[in-house]
Structures are given as C-alpha cells and as structure tokens.
Copies of this chain bind each other. A is one copy, B any other.
Amino acid sequence: MRVTLADIAKACETSLSTVSRALSDPDKVNPQTRERIQRVAREMGYMTNPIARALAVGRTGVIGLIVPDIANPFFPPIIKAVQARAGRKDTAVLLADTDEHAADELERARVLSKQVDGLIMVSPRTPEDRLAEFVQLAPVVFVNRQVEGAPSIIIDNSDGITQAVQHLVALGHRRICYLNGPRRSWSNDRRRAALKEACAKYSVELIELGPFEPQVQAGVHAADLVQASGATAVIAYDDQIALGLMARLAEHRLQVGRDISVIGIDDSPMSDVAYPTLTSIHVPGAEAGAVAVDILLAQLDADDADPAPVVQLETRLVIRGSTGPAPTQRLVTTESIGPLLGGEIPSRATRRTD
C-alpha cells in the first residue's frame, strides 16, 4: 500500500510527529534527523496524502472554477490561466461547466464549495438578487461580473468599444448594428451602455438586434436581420456570433470588410483564423483568470474583513480584415426578412442605402 508517515517513523525509529515536522515544517527539527527523515521518505516514495492533510488543516489546496461553457472559446484561455497560476502555488483546480444554465450555478457552487478552499465564478449568469448566496458558501471571486461586497475582476468594455466606434466612424460608417448577447447578461448590459454612449458622441445611428446566444449558430441567424437593417457595420456581442454572421454573409456572397464591416468581442484565437480575419475587441481573459487566482489565494490567507478588491481590466480594439471603408452604395436584398422589419423597407425588393 501507500506509505504513510507512520511507516517512515518506524523506519527512522522516531516519532510520527517528528516525521511530520521534518516534511512539512522542516525548520522545527534538528538538521541531522531532518536530513535522514527526508532521505528515507524519498527512498520509500512517500507522498503526503492531501486528503488527510486537508482534514487536519482545514484547507484542501484546491479551488473551484465555474464557467458557463468550456466550448465557448472565450473561456479556455481563462481556464488555462487559472490553472497555470494556481499550479504555481500548489493548488489544483476543480472545474465545473454549467452549460449556460444560470439556474445550475448555485447548486454547482454549493457542491463544489465543500471540497475546495474557494471559488472562482467566471461570467456567472445568476440574477443579481441571488449573487449574495455565493458569498455565503465560500470565499469567492467573480470574474467578468461586479458583485457588491465581493472581490470582482471586471472588464471595462468602454475603451475597446469607443475605439471600435471611432474606427468605424473613421471608415465612414454612420449606421451600425449591435447584436445583443443573452438577455440577462451583465456583460451585454455593459457593452450596450458603452456602445450607446459612443454612438451618441459620434452621432452614429445605432440599431440593436437580438438577444442572441453566444454561439455561432446565433450569428448565422442574425445575418439576415443584419442585411435587412441597412447597417454598414456590425458589432457583435462576441466573436462566436460574429463568426457565424461572417460565415452566413459569405454564403450570401457579401464580402466582409468591403461590402459590410464586422467587429467581434473577445479577440478569441479564432479571430485570427477566420477569413477575413476578424477585427475584435481584445478582452484580457487570461489576465483576469490569473488575477482572480491571486486575489482568491490572498483572501484565504488574509483576515476576512479587509475590503473586497475590484480589479478593472481594460479592453482595446484589434483591427484585422473584417472592417473596411463603408461602401458608398450598398445593395441590400430584403426578400425574405423584409417583413420582419415592418414597413420601413420595401420587401421583395432591392434597394440602395446611403
């Protein structure tokens, strides 16, 4: 079986306590015995049992990480960053994916909370009024959502979004469309607010569509609505939606970056791969993950009652191939979706805009 402290104690003809100290608190034991114990432990292949240790000290060395959807490319970089940072501090990561089911978040957190020292909640979808319950469960830090009285790493979208609008305005766009994210998404509210402000400032007409799920398929769906909207540029809630949108526009033989401009949000790895490459607002997910670990771990060591830090990370626009000058005149076919928009657009017709 596995070798235990008792085995080593026997082999070294000393007490279990001394062995324990030699291994986990070396300064407290005589250098000679310490050396001997450590050598024997190594020879016997001893590895401390983290479960027993956890029970004794009340710390597991594990943190829980809850994300809405691993398959959404926005999250893997965050997960990787969390793991990397935690690993460097001898902390393992228990991961849970809620499949975008807001209602499951609390339950998952509740279960996980018993086996971890603390929780990192990434982009939680739980409604505002129940967020406090997480805080009761365990030390928790929120990423991508600001929670009253709890440490939060939030992303300030305004810089990136302002840059995006400026970029489009400089290219001559005057009518842009925003594809909303999920209805109760905190990020979406923030992005929308920033966008409204920027558009007002630059006198750009803003058309809103959605809400859409942060999935490629939603972008495909959005494409036809976008074409009907008469906008010359689109900003999507995230890259996933933007990608689906681009794919569908391409199917319709629209050349993105020339006939219509598209901007995503997240700057996920795929934005470099799409064709054309996707102009996107860089969201520092990895950084947020790493900072979250630092704050959580610091919090575990600290005396509770120091103020909950709120870290705000900046965004910035990364310009790629999907944005270009506004077309001076543009063909919009409204065949199938004209009716959706009411009387504004002559249906079953082709019209020019601008």
Interface residues of A (CB under 8 A from B): 47-52, 54-55, 60, 62, 70-71, 73, 76-77, 79-80, 83, 92-97, 99, 110-112, 114-115, 216, 243-244, 246-247, 250-251, 269-270, 272-275, 277
Flag if A77 contacts B71 (CB, 8 Å): yes
Chain B residue numbers with a CB within 8 Å of A110 are 47
Flag if A273 contacts B97 (CB, 8 Å): no
Q: Known contacts being A51-B55, A114-B50, is A94 close to B93, with CB within 8 Å?
A: yes
Flag if B269 contacts A270 (CB, 8 Å): no
Q: Known contacts being A71-B77, A97-B83, is A247 close to B275, with CB within 8 Å?
A: yes
**Closest B residue, CB atoms, query A49:** B114
**Closest B residue, CB atoms, query A249:** B275
| Copy total for this chain | 2
A224 to chain B, nearest CB (A): 16
User: With A and B bound together, what is the CA distance between A272 and B240 in angstroms?
Assistant: 12
Option from B47, B80, B96 in Cβ contact (under 8 Å) with A70? B80
Q: Known contacts being A70-B80, A270-B270, is A114 close to B60, with CB within 8 Å?
A: no
Can you list the 9 inter-chain pairs with the closest CB atoms, starting with the nearest?
Answer: A250-B275, A71-B76, A95-B95, A70-B76, A216-B273, A50-B115, A247-B275, A51-B54, A51-B55
Flag if A60 contacts B70 (CB, 8 Å): no
Flag if A92 contacts B111 (CB, 8 Å): yes
Flag if B95 contacts A115 (CB, 8 Å): no
Chain B residue numbers with a CB within 8 Å of A96 are 83, 92-93
Chain B residue numbers with a CB within 8 Å of A48 are 114
**Closest B residue, CB atoms, query A269:** B71
Q: Known contacts being A54-B51, A115-B50, is A71 close to B80, with CB within 8 Å?
A: yes
Flag if B92 contacts A94 (CB, 8 Å): yes
A61 to chain B, nearest CB (A): 8
Flag if A275 contacts B275 (CB, 8 Å): yes
User: With A and B bound together, what is the CA distance between A339 and B92 in angstroms?
Assistant: 49
Flag if A73 contacts B73 (CB, 8 Å): yes
**Closest B residue, CB atoms, query A60:** B51
User: With A and B bound together, what is the CA distance between A52 and B57 in angstroms?
Assistant: 12
